[in-house]
Amino acid sequence: MNHINLATVWLGGCSGCHMSFLDLDEWLFTLADQVNWVYSPFMDVKVYPNHVDVVLVEGAIANRDHLHMIYDVRERSRILISFGDCAVTGNVTALRNPLGGATPVLERCYLELSDHHAQLPGDDGIVPPLLDRVLPVHTVVPVDIYLPGCPPSAERIRAALEPLLQGTMPHLQGEQIRFG
């Protein structure tokens, strides 16, 4: 049996999609027998690898680190799944977009709402530079499969992955493509 190289990525989101992934419970053992886990927030791997067959990308693109990461992910992955409503539409992560850019968001968080020592983070490495707008994944790179839900249920995740393990593309329809 050929194993596929499977990755999961967490960008701007709450990790709820990854928590739902863990709700696959016993099927995770079946999955583990059929994949090579090559990258995930569940692993201590620092660099996104080459030759990924399938990647589930959770979260929207909210900062420059996410932007660089999604370009690497797309370049190095055969099938990219937009994983959850934040990745698909921007969802909750994009609620900051009406504030008009990164500066008003930072000022609101670090100056206006500060109880002590109000200051903007200025040193490198404290806060990755925010993009002026939070972007869903498909607006930056091509997406092969959309897996909506906030978060998508374990059943929906399995319905997307099982056909891929058998070498076919999933055909999600009805309840499988519902948002929220």
Do the domain assignments include residue 8? Answer: yes
Residue 1: its pLDDT value, please? 55
Residue 58: its pLDDT value, please? 98
Whichever domain contains 76, its CATH number is 3.40.50.700
Distance of CA 76 to the CA centre of its chain: 15
Domain count within the chain: 1
Do the domain assignments include residue 58? Answer: yes
Do the domain assignments include residue 109? Answer: no
Domain that includes residue 150, residue range:
4-98+129-177
- Burial (Cβ within 10 Å: 0-12, 13-18, ≥19) of residue 162: middle
Do the domain assignments include residue 52? Answer: yes
Look up residue 140 and give its DSSP letter: T
Q: Lowest-confidence range among 48-52, 103-107, 160-164? A: 103-107
Do the domain assignments include residue 111? Answer: no
Do the domain assignments include residue 118? Answer: no
Q: 43-82 pLDDT, tens per residue? A: 999 999 999 999 999 999 999 999 999 999 999 999 999 9
Distance of CA 112 to the CA centre of its chain: 30
- In angstroms, rounded to a whole number, what is the distance separating the alpha carbons of residues 66 and 151? 20
Residue 168: other Cβ atoms inside 10 A: 9
Do the domain assignments include residue 11? Answer: yes
Do the domain assignments include residue 104? Answer: no
